[in-house]
Homo-oligomer: A and B are copies of this chain.
Amino acid sequence: MEKYEKFGTKEKILDSALESFSTSGFDATSLDVIAKSLGVRKQTILYHFGTKKGLLNAVVERAAENLINSIEEVLNSELKGWERIEALARMIFRLALREPLLLGLLREVSRPGSAGSERLRILMTPLMDRGTLWMQSEMEVGRMRRTNPRLVILSAYSTVVGLATEIEVLRAAGIEQALRPVTIRRRELIRFLRVSLDPDYLKSK
């Protein structure tokens, strides 16, 4: 693609933008500030990404790639039915803790009407459709309880996004690296998914 690039400038810009969008938000992020922090002129940013929104979209795309790759890994495993769901949930939590910036970006961009929400939707739609279809086929063969797949997926999604707020609030309150609340959230999410989806759960109880 790029023939020559001084020193991965484009990547550096993406990194810095991710940090700023994730922690300060889109509107509070200034191209001048990013440029200055990188020792680069603002026009370099605009050269690579066209507009500020273009930069945001690029950041969102890279983050989504990151996420989708992780999901892909689980989907390529041979886990079936409920076990696959649980593996997905655990993977998402692992990813969220490993890359908090990604989580922050997701929250920033999840607000409907925000600058990046449209792009996020476009990127997530295929994933959502695929998940919905898979869940429906699992329901057909009785490996999964009958529910509204989209509702379940979106609730799980917002649980993860809510995690971003929780971590930050706890940190701001001086409770550093509180793993317990995160663990609790994960357990709650898995239980929620299990109640909604696992056909064997209620029987075994």
Contacts and interface: CB of A to CB of B under 8 A. Distances in A.
A2 interface: no
Contact of A110 (B154, B165, B192): B165
Interface residues of A, number: 36
Nearest to A191: B188
Interface of A is mostly: helix
Interface stretch (A11-19, A84-92, A136-144, A173-181): A173-181
Interface in A68-119: 107, 110-113, 117
Interface stretch (A21-29, A37-45, A47-55, A56-64): A21-29
Contact of A169 (B112, B172, B175, B181): B112
Given A111-B165, A165-B110, A165-B162, A175 B151 contact: yes
Interface of A: 23-25, 27-28, 107, 110-113, 117, 121, 150-151, 154-155, 157-159, 161-162, 165-166, 168-173, 175, 178, 180-181, 184, 188, 192
29 contacts: A23-B113, A25-B27, A27-B27, A107-B165, A110-B169, A112-B168, A112-B171, A117-B172, A150-B173, A150-B175, A151-B175, A154-B166, A154-B170, A154-B173, A154-B175, A154-B181, A155-B184, A157-B169, A158-B170, A159-B162, A159-B166, A161-B165, A162-B162, A162-B165, A162-B166, A165-B165, A184-B192, A188-B188, A188-B192
